[in-house]
Structure 1
């Protein structure tokens, strides 16, 4: 059992969560910190929620002393600017305060920083440039550090780009030929954790590991087509005929993803993701392998160890459909409200009049229900209020059904079956409510 304490920042993320749990299994005392943790992620009393990004250098230094940190692993990162996400604040400004805090803490601490592979000359996005700025700050700090630059990280769970590749593997779709040929060197998340464990056992004064920068990835170059192909073998879909998505569709999807990002969602297909995908994931892991003795797992070893389970297949098939479900529900509520209020107002009001509603109530009810429908659509469209909107949509739909059964029962046998179709709409909203989780 190691006596050293490892502090993992970003313990709710794809890499951070796995690293936290794996290092504990290796015998380290690991404190996992995150801005927010799902109930299922609170696996230990050492999993702690803190507004990490809002802490100043003095508060961070106090945290390091109180938690007796020997190694700090910074897994914090955001792909693209948006509501609640600021690449500069997370990648550059926070690292500046963290470096100051390590210096002020009075403790001998090694910083392990998770960055990205590639060169500064190829950086084109705010994500990449701010990541690189953080690397320069760390290199100039004089603090014992290791900058780890993992390739495409393969994790048992799925999120972001990893989820997108699984979805492509589950459908008869290919990216454009140019993107499929992009170099895409993978790394198993277990190898990242093993590297951190190796660093954590080294003495802080060991000059050989005082200032390291390593690419972590499979040594043999592969392409995105090979990565997706390996997922397809696991899903049993490798023999399917496939259709290549035109490049303009990929760019259009990125623009739609940027719009969703502005509403608080974090779709994997955004302009930054596509730009980074087209750049590729390459590096030279020779220095890492030589220093640590770790033999990186190959793509086949990482993905091909077990066939996909039914939950893997369900997730992959539903991942792309999730966006369609939410978009259709937003359109359903917004369009239905707009039609009743602006296009067919007289017809909508006439339904109430024909059923002997008091004339004084016809206009208020027609306007009120139309505005309610549009409000539900807006609530569902915004990530922060989506759950409220879906719950409100279910309640409103049930209210329409019950109200019609009491006041206008003949609408239940109306030829187009508008009320009968409300039932499946409720089920779809329930499905959307159950699919809200990202992690």
Structure 2
């Protein structure tokens, strides 16, 4: 343990809230140990030598205790969360299993330190999703342990970075569409991410002053919340988008959530899934007065939170491209798969005949058609799967250029084909380059 100056470990420091909180505390002069399974190159440079890349989710109690002791941690800020069960993880394991081990690790130390845990607002009786139920179960675990704690329940978090729900709101604000009344009318309290940082900083200062017996649960959010529609309108005004022209039908939101669930099974992290839609319709409400009174913090409103972030052209670009990203990737996947299947089945003889007509032996022409068709299908399938998408896009670009180079050598007259046989692939290549450029989530 570090004595008078608390050392603060931020678990999940690569995420939207974790990164912002870690940066806030560092700028405020605290000793911070940002921890994550993996940092982006930009995050690693930003945090420097303080950043710790570790698979802490897989550590047992002893491993977690050793990790905390190795860095002499006094205060743990747990920002780890997952929206829905899938290939990225399990809500029960992330929200309950990890927290249980972390509590045991803290309780087993000579001085347990303080746990600051990020949860969700709302009434437990309204918890209907595995996400909300396991979040609430984690709160009960913390409350029953013998470790000093402060559970923070932020609303819709507004931060400089865009990820998940905040990315979706930016996209909706940039598009000329209005949310359906059912979703737009849900109460939706916002939280400036700086208020979370200020809360942790205030707790750390009180901890340093000897106030170490915390057992608090606070709603951390604005005093006078609006609705989901109001928040989107605030973002729209912030980035300078025109007023919406059309209203989205509610069934389209449901369809998008189900499509997001399907995409998640392929390793993607779409912002709209059934859990996100359910939580949006439930709304975000709470009472920030106990938190504000206890720490002397005046909550920032949604407008004030946005005023802390300078808008720029990148906000409009991001918002407009964000919802086009799945459309671009989906079209490319379907294009490659369909192209391969067409050449392999209904157009096999025609494709083989083209190669044979340019001097290739018929057997070789058939084999070449089969191989290239299977390559097309494989690339399309790989584009649809998140872990293999980038490599597939690069392979698709290289393969398309190879096709054009071989065609130019074997049949240069195709450049003069009135149907544009060697001209039309270029937009597809450019689209793949765009997909590569916007593939990163953070």
TM-score interval (norm. to shorter): over 0.9
The structure-2 alpha-carbon separation of the partners of 1:202 and 1:307, relative to structure 1 and needing over 3 Å to count, comes to closer
> What corresponds to 1:384 in structure 2?
387
> What corresponds to 2:54 in structure 1?
50
Greater mean alpha carbon deviation, residues 200-209 or residues 134-143: 200-209
- Please state how far the C-alpha of 1:204 moved relative to its aligned partner: 7.8
Greater mean alpha carbon deviation, residues 297-306 or residues 110-119: 297-306
Alignment check: 8 A CA contact 2:175 2:244 kept:
no
* 1:201 partner SS: helix
The structure-2 alpha-carbon separation of the partners of 1:193 and 1:145, relative to structure 1 and needing over 3 Å to count, comes to same
Calculate the TM-score normalised by the size of structure 2.
0.96
The structure-2 alpha-carbon separation of the partners of 1:375 and 1:67, relative to structure 1 and needing over 3 Å to count, comes to same
- Please state how far the C-alpha of 1:256 moved relative to its aligned partner: 0.7
Alignment check: 8 A CA contact 2:114 2:212 kept:
no
Calculate the TM-score normalised by the size of structure 1.
0.97
* 1:8 partner SS: strand
2:364 to 361, 365, 371: 361
Gaps of 5+ in 2: none
> What corresponds to 1:40 in structure 2?
42
Distance 2:111 2:66 in 1: 11
> What corresponds to 2:419 in structure 1?
416
- Please state how far the C-alpha of 1:254 moved relative to its aligned partner: 0.7
Deviations along 1:238-281, one digit per CA (max 9) or x if unpaired, are 4x342111111111111111111000000101111101111111
- Please state how far the C-alpha of 1:410 moved relative to its aligned partner: 2.0
> What corresponds to 2:15 in structure 1?
13
Distance 1:251 1:70 in 2: 44
1:20-99 superposed matches below 5 A:
20-42=22-44, 43-99=47-103
Alignment check: 8 A CA contact 1:380 1:389 kept:
yes
Deviations along 1:268-306, one digit per CA (max 9) or x if unpaired, are 011111011111111011100110110011111111456
1:18-417 superposed matches below 5 A:
18-42=20-44, 43-203=47-207, 210-238=214-242, 240-304=243-307, 308-417=311-420
Greater mean alpha carbon deviation, residues 303-312 or residues 17-26: 303-312
- Please state how far the C-alpha of 1:207 moved relative to its aligned partner: 6.8
Alignment check: 8 A CA contact 2:356 2:362 kept:
yes
Alignment check: 8 A CA contact 2:352 2:366 kept:
yes
Distance 1:196 1:390 in 2: 42
* 1:146 partner SS: strand
Distance 1:99 1:108 in 2: 9
Distance 1:334 1:52 in 2: 39
Distance 2:54 2:256 in 1: 34
The structure-2 alpha-carbon separation of the partners of 1:306 and 1:112, relative to structure 1 and needing over 3 Å to count, comes to closer
The structure-2 alpha-carbon separation of the partners of 1:209 and 1:294, relative to structure 1 and needing over 3 Å to count, comes to farther
Deviations along 1:8-32, one digit per CA (max 9) or x if unpaired, are 0001000000111110111110000
* 1:364 partner SS: helix
Deviations along 1:177-223, one digit per CA (max 9) or x if unpaired, are 11101100001000000000111122389678510000000010211
* 1:84 partner SS: coil
Distance 1:80 1:72 in 2: 24
Root-mean-square deviation over aligned CA pairs? 1.6
Deviations along 1:353-402, one digit per CA (max 9) or x if unpaired, are 22121122011100000000000001111000001100100110010010
Gaps of 5+ in 1: none
Greater mean alpha carbon deviation, residues 377-386 or residues 79-88: 79-88
Deviations along 1:67-94, one digit per CA (max 9) or x if unpaired, are 1111000000111111132111110100
- Please state how far the C-alpha of 1:106 moved relative to its aligned partner: 2.0
- Please state how far the C-alpha of 1:308 moved relative to its aligned partner: 2.5
Alignment check: 8 A CA contact 2:6 2:208 kept:
no
Distance 1:385 1:118 in 2: 38
Distance 2:178 2:358 in 1: 54
The structure-2 alpha-carbon separation of the partners of 1:235 and 1:280, relative to structure 1 and needing over 3 Å to count, comes to same
